[in-house]
Chain A
Amino acid sequence: MRRTRLQAIAAGVAGAAFIIALGGPHLTASAADKPIVIGASISETGAYADSGKLALQGYQLWVKQQNAAGGLLGRQIELKTYDDASDPATAVRLYQRLIDQDHVDLIVGPYSSAVTASVANVAQQHHMPMISPEVASTAPFQRGLTEIFQGIQIAAAYVEGPMEIAKEKGYKSIAVTGEDTLFPRSVVAGVDDLAKKMGMTIVFNQLYPHNASDYSSIVEKMKQANPDIVIAASYLPDSVGLLRAMKQANFAPKLLYEGVGPTELSFGTQNGKDAEGVMGTGNWNAELKTQGNAAFVKTFEAEFGHAPDYHAAANFASLEVLGDAVKRVGSLDSAKLRDQLATLTMPTVMGTYKVDPKTGIQQGYKSLVLQWVNGKQFVVYPKALAQRPPSLPFAPWSTR
């Protein structure tokens, strides 16, 4: 009994959906009155919910500001997002739905390298250009895809900063480690070549698996190799774990670089005074003198009640670029938009957007080296943007 009723309801819903789908095109108003719909999926739940939320707020703030300023091409803008729960397969389904069923006018990238790598194929199949602010790995751009554009600094360029600083100080030997996954691998891939160019030697090079919990053995090995500097391509949990194991093993290299972990404010709360002197790579900073950055920080805080981070800034900047490209093209023609995104040079809150026209790999945005000094993060590299000179050497544990 219950079953047949459910079936009847299901049939009714399906039928209604079918009728709407058939009648849809005839019932809609003329295109000029409709808002321009920008579609994306974002990790609103799952392990990356916190960063995903900030990324989404970056998108939301730009849309709100742009609508207040008259929209795009005389039309209002609507942001249509779904939650992909940090799962690439779900994101692929959602982008297909955004394009096939929701008929969005434009798409922008999701959160994280892995999710973007999968979604890029959908964009390619539908010839929808997609600027992606949350993909530091260059792997998705080296598959001959023509529709994706990188809206953030590339991972391999991360280590240039700390290695330049080390070279200036005359440090020679390097220990390299990091998590054995796509993004950290891309980061450490740059170290070999740079070391040769700079006349430095790699005395230790070993990665650890994702979800590693105990770093004491790998730190003991690094200590035996006795390097001047340690370059770890790590996220937050492993950068905390490594730092703690180094303190416990009483091992302090002259320079300690820990990837993206130290850029998170939580690195400070989790390590207290031990964070002092640790360097990391950040992509953005509230104090940066990039175009519109001060206003962005202020309006973001007013809108959401908390400070933006680099995710929010990168997503905001990507829509700045997309909006500008639409204005220059004067329509939503995807082929023309694609060409525009490939060749455009434009100042944003992240720096100057410029990609390699062939691959879409980011060339304009510069990575920043941050260092924890007196309980706060400071930009110490590149010199043009530095808030203070690097504080080196990293103090031995016994003197702290």
Chain B
Amino acid sequence: MHAALFGQLTIDGLLVGGVYALSALGLNVIFGVMRIVNLAHGEFVIGAALLAAVLFERLHASVLVVLPLAFVLAFGLGALIQRAFLRRLPTDLASAEATSLLMTFGLSYFFVGAWLAFFSGNFRSVPYLTGAWTLGPFSIAQARLLAFVASGIVAALLAMLLRYTALGRAIRATSQNLQGALACGVDVERVRTLSFALGTAIAAASGCLLILIFTVNPETGANVTLASFAVIALGGLGNYAGTLVGAAVIGLAISFTGYFATAQVAQAAPYVLFILVLLLRPAGLLGKSGA
């Protein structure tokens, strides 16, 4: 294989990984703090994506204008869902994961139906930055680069929030040791609500970028949820830096298997990796083995 082709496939893979990374980060914040496996995650991504598409069709609104709007709306929706539903679940850890799984599964079906009623079943996408820049022998898709850069910015902001703010410390404390956080006077209920809201808002932001690259309808949310899970399984549940590594690995796997094998193999590749990592390194690629 010549170097130019290798480079092109690497670029394509990393750029696509950037979009998966953002969606997966949102999912990982929620899991890290709340130990909630949010099966409705893809529906929040798709809801924002369809909102961006409809606003583009009707008002020619730029995706970059819709993104902050969707972020705020989703933040509110996430807080509402946490207060109205998830907070009422039992909090002892053993049963929390199972019951939250069932509840988010139900929520995901509710939102698929709601989006179908609201946006119809039509497939949509937004024709914005559809071209490519040429850099030597490589072509770099503009929308993908934008999504990649925006994902990076949101990831950096999230990292700063977690590291340097009081809320961030509270989130990390809660995710590392619930009892310890409680003992230190952290308002755990508030932290949970804000985390779920934040995770949902990040999902919405990724939806606004995803719609530049993929064509989606309300029933494609499950694919996003699955891909996001594969990413955080690779990177480690609750491990934010690992999420970025996991996304890059998945993007590269899709790109290379898609070229050297078939598109069918490329579609299976993330899940094969997912299973292998669960078997061989259950804590994720960056996690301590055996943890």
Contact B215 A237 (CB under 8 A): yes
Assess the A208–B121 pair: CB atoms within 8 A.
no
Say whether B91 faces chain A, with CB atoms less than 8 Å apart.
no
Decide if B127 touches A272 in the complex (CB within 8 Å): yes
Stretch at the interface among A244-252, A281-289, A352-360: A244-252
Complex interface: chain A residues within 8 A of B131 (CB): 247-248, 397
Q: Which residues of A contact B130 (CB under 8 A)?
A: 244, 247-248, 271-272, 274
> CB distance B219 to A180 under 8 Å?
no
| A interface with B by C-beta (< 8 Å) | 45-50, 180, 206-209, 211-218, 220-221, 224, 236-238, 240-241, 244, 247-250, 266, 269-272, 274, 397
B263 pairs with A250, CB closer than 8 A: no
CA distance A377 to B5 in the complex (A): 36
Q: Quick one: which of B9, B122, B255 has the most chain A CB within 10 A?
A: B122
The answer, among B216, B257, B263, for a CB contact under 8 Å with A209, is B263
CA–CA, A220 to B132, complex, Å?
A: 14
Which 7 residue pairs across A and B have the least CB separation, nearest first?
A217-B258, A208-B263, A248-B141, A237-B215, A237-B123, A272-B127, A47-B121
Alpha-carbon separation in the docked complex, A224 to B262 (Å): 15
Query: Which of B122, B127, B258 contacts A216, CB < 8 Å?
Result: B258
CB-defined contacts of B220 to chain A, threshold 8 Å = 211, 213
Point out the residues of chain A lying under 8 angstroms from B223, CB to CB: 211, 213
Docked pose: A180 CA to B142 CA in angstroms? 29
Residues in B181-223 with C-beta less than 8 Å from chain A: 213-217, 219-220, 223
- CB neighbours of B12 from chain A (8 A): 216-217, 220
Docked Cα-Cα span, A244 to B16, in Å, equals: 14
In the complex with contacts A211-B223, A212-B263, A248-B139 CB distance below 8 A: yes
* Cα distance A272–B9 in the bound complex, in angstroms: 27
A208 contacts across to B, CB distance below 8 A: 262-264
User: Is B125 among interface residues, defined by CB-CB distance under 8 A?
Assistant: yes
B132 touching A248 by the CB < 8 A rule? yes
A46 and B218 CA atoms in complex are apart in Å by 10
Q: How far is the CB of A262 from chain B (nearest CB, A)?
A: 13
Residues 206-244 of B contacting A (Cβ, < 8 Å): 213-217, 219-220, 223
Contacting residues of chain B (82-121) with chain A, CB-CB under 8 angstroms: 116, 120-121
Smallest beta-carbon distance A168→chain B, Å? 30
Inter-chain contact A49/B116, CB cutoff 8 Å: yes
**Distance from A216 Cβ to chain B, minimum over Cβ atoms (Å):** 5
Please report the C-alpha to C-alpha distance between residue A270 and residue B214 in the assembled complex, in whole angstroms: 11
Contact with A along B127-141 (1 / 0, CB 8 A): 100111010000101
Answer yes or no: B254 CB below 8 A from chain A CBs: yes
B176 at the interface (CB under 8 A from A): no
Q: Which of these, B57, B144, B219, B257, contacts A248 with CB under 8 Å?
A: B144
Residues on B with C-beta less than 8 A from A247 are: 130-132
Q: A209-B264, A269-B57 are in contact. List 20 more A-B contacts (CB 8 A).
A: A46-B116, A49-B120, A50-B121, A206-B262, A208-B264, A209-B267, A211-B267, A213-B214, A213-B220, A214-B255, A216-B141, A217-B256, A220-B12, A237-B215, A240-B125, A241-B125, A244-B213, A247-B130, A270-B124, A274-B127
- Contact check, B214 vs A241: say whether CB atoms are below 8 A apart: yes
In this complex, which of A215, A216, A247 has the most chain B Cβ atoms within 10 angstroms of its Cβ? A216
The listed residue (A217, A244, A266, A269) touching B255 by CB distance below 8 A is: A217
Q: Which of B121, B126, B132, B266 contacts A217 (CB 8 A)?
A: B266
> How near does chain B come to A368, taking the closest CB pair, in angstroms?
23
| CB of B174 to closest CB in A, whole Å | 34
User: Is the CB–CB distance between A50 and B255 below 8 Å?
Assistant: no
B-side interface size class: 35 or more
Contact of B62 with A by CB under 8 A? no
Q: Does B8 contact A (CB under 8 A)?
A: yes
In the complex formed, the residue of A with least CB distance to B257 is A217
Cα separation A180 to B267 with both chains bound (whole Å): 13
Q: Which of B124, B220, B255, B258 counts the most chain A CB atoms within 10 A? A: B258
**Most chain A Cβ neighbours within 10 Å, of B123, B124, B144:** B123
Contact A218 B263 (CB under 8 A): yes
Given known contacts A208-B264, A248-B139, A249-B139, A214 and B219 CB-to-CB distance under 8 angstroms: no
Q: What are 14 contact pairs spanning A and B, CB under 8 A?
A: A46-B116, A47-B217, A208-B262, A213-B214, A216-B258, A217-B255, A217-B257, A217-B259, A237-B215, A237-B217, A240-B125, A270-B127, A270-B215, A271-B127
A50 near B120: Cβ-Cβ < 8 Å: yes
Which residues of the partner chain A approach B213 to less than 8 Å between Cβ atoms? 214, 244
Chain A: CB-nearest residue to B262: A206
Evaluate contact between A218 and B258: CB separation under 8 angstroms.
yes
Q: What's the Cα separation between A377 and B86 when bound, in Å?
A: 50
Contacts of A224 in B (CB 8 A): 5
Task: Return the contact of B258 from the options A48, A180, A214 (Cβ within 8 A).
Answer: A214
Contact yes or no, B134 A217, CB < 8 A = no
Picked from B16, B134, B215, B262, the residue with its CB within 8 Å of the CB of A241 is B215
**Alpha-carbon gap, A97 to B18, bound state (A):** 51
Whether A180 pairs with B255 at a CB distance below 8 angstroms is no
Give min CB distance, A276 to chain B, whole Å. Answer: 12
* B122 engages A217 (CB within 8 Å): no
Most buried by B among A208, A240, A248: A248
Do A214 and B254 touch (CB < 8 A)?
yes
Q: Is the CB of A220 within 8 A of B141?
A: no
Given the complex of chains A and B, what is the CA–CA distance between A188 and B189 in angstroms? 57
Q: Which residue of B lies closest to A239 (CB)?
A: B215
Tell me, in angstroms, the Cα distance from A220 to B138 when the chains sit together. 12
Question: Nearest chain B CB to A249's CB is how many angstroms away?
Answer: 6
Q: Report whether A249 and B57 are in contact in the complex, using a CB–CB cutoff of 8 Å.
A: no
Chain A nearest CB, measured from B143 CB (Å) = 8
Residues of B near A50 (CB, < 8 A) are 120-122
CB-CB under 8 A for A250 and B132, given A212-B263, A217-B266, A270-B215: yes
In Å, the complex CA distance between A207 and B264 comes to 8
User: In this complex, what residue of A is CB-closest to B132?
Assistant: A248
Q: Taking the nearest CB of chain B, how far is it from the CB of A53, in angstroms?
A: 9
CB-CB under 8 A from A269, the residues of chain B are: 57, 127
Q: Which of A48, A220, A270 contacts B125 (CB 8 A)?
A: A270
The CA-CA distance from A249 to B256 in the complex, in Å, is: 15
Tell me the complex Cα distance, A208–B263, Å: 5
